[in-house]
């Protein structure tokens, strides 16, 4: 365990803690991890565009119990005729309204679903896919800039389709508002990290794994604090920066690899 960090203090990761987390990351980053995780939804597909879109839907809905997330995300994808890319290419506004009608996952309501599908369709048409929609105009592809650029473009696209952001804004997080942006950081992990261990996809190449930030949730936050990796009490963007900084000491080229260790320890082992 690292020396317990003060609230916003950066810490030094010991060799013992480094070895422990690397071992745990290797334990959980295996294909067996997929079936009970939201990443199972994009793993239904082989086509890049289908994976991107199904992954974005699954990540967006990834809060609550994992079983419920899988059911809701699967049902949403089924509303797109089980073919997200084809739906985005050919759906009319009436098709989108029909697909969104009656869909509910916790606070994600039919109006949110309609905004999401409309904005995603506009972004795919404008950028040729979701990857480029995350890349800032200046090419600075670190996670905070990518998430901010995507947030702005998403709601610009929604506005072009006639939708004000309204309550839907809370479903597309941005570091500019201090959010930990857990679900979008998780989505970037899925798309960017290598598929060599059979879990993440490694489909995007304009963002490097070294630029990713940890998807901070209750489990990763609690375990990170217990291990002394950071001390900040809030699960906000500053906490994401502190925890990711500590994880970069373990693997500077792929710090978010440790997400598997922290999540596995917390959610599965009840550490």
Dihedral angle at the C-alpha atoms of 217, 220, 222, 226, nearest 10 degrees? -160
* Per-residue H/E/C for 134-161: HCCCCCCCCHHHHHHHHHHHHHHHHHHC
**Per-residue pLDDT, 185:** 98
Residues of the chain whose pLDDT is less than 50? none
**Per-residue pLDDT, 140:** 87
**Per-residue pLDDT, 70:** 97
Distance CA 254, CA 271 (A): 23
Look at phi and psi of residue 96 and say left if phi exceeds 0, alpha if psi is from -120 to 50, else beta: alpha
**Per-residue pLDDT, 11:** 83
Are 266 and 28 in contact by the 8 Å Cβ rule? The answer is no
* Per-residue H/E/C for 50-92: HHHHHHHHHHHCCCCCHHHHHHHHHHHHHHCCCCHHHHHHHCC
Distance CA 2, CA 101 (A): 50
Are 130 and 88 in contact by the 8 Å Cβ rule? The answer is no
**Per-residue pLDDT, 10:** 74
Tracing tokens 């941005």 back to the chain, one arrives at 174
**Nearest of 121, 105, 92 to residue 41 by alpha carbon:** 105
Q: What is the pTM of this model?
A: 0.95
């Amino acid at each position: 365990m690292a020396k317990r960090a003060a609230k916003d203090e950066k810490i030094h990761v010991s060799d013992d803690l480094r070895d422990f987390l690397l071992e745990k990351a290797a334990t959980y980053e295996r294909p067996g991890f997929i079936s009970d995780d939201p990443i199972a939804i994009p793993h239904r597909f082989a086509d890049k565009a289908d994976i991107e879109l199904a992954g974005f839907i699954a990540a967006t809905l990834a809060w609550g119990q994992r079983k419920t997330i899988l059911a809701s995300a699967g049902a949403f994808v089924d509303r797109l005729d089980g073919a997200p890319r084809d739906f985005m290419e050919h759906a009319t506004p009436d098709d989108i309204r029909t697909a969104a009608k009656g869909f509910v996952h916790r606070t994600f309501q039919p109006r949110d679903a309609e905004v999401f599908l409309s904005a995603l369709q506009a972004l795919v048409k404008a950028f040729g896919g979701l990857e480029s929609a995350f890349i800032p105009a200046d090419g600075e592809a670190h996670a905070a800039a990518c998430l901010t650029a995507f947030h702005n473009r998403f709601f610009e696209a929604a506005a072009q389709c006639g939708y004000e952001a309204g309550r839907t804004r809370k479903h597309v997080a941005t570091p500019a508002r201090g959010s930990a942006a857990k679900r979008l950081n998780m989505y970037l992990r899925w798309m960017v990290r290598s598929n060599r261990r059979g879990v993440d996809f490694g489909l995007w190449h304009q963002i490097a794994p070294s630029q990713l930030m940890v998807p901070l949730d209750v489990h990763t936050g609690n375990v990170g604090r217990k291990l002394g990796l950071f001390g900040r009490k809030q699960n906000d963007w500053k906490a994401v920066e502190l925890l990711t900084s500590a994880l970069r000491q373990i693997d500077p080229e792929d710090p978010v690899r440790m997400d598997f260790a922290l999540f596995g320890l917390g959610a599965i082992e009840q550490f």
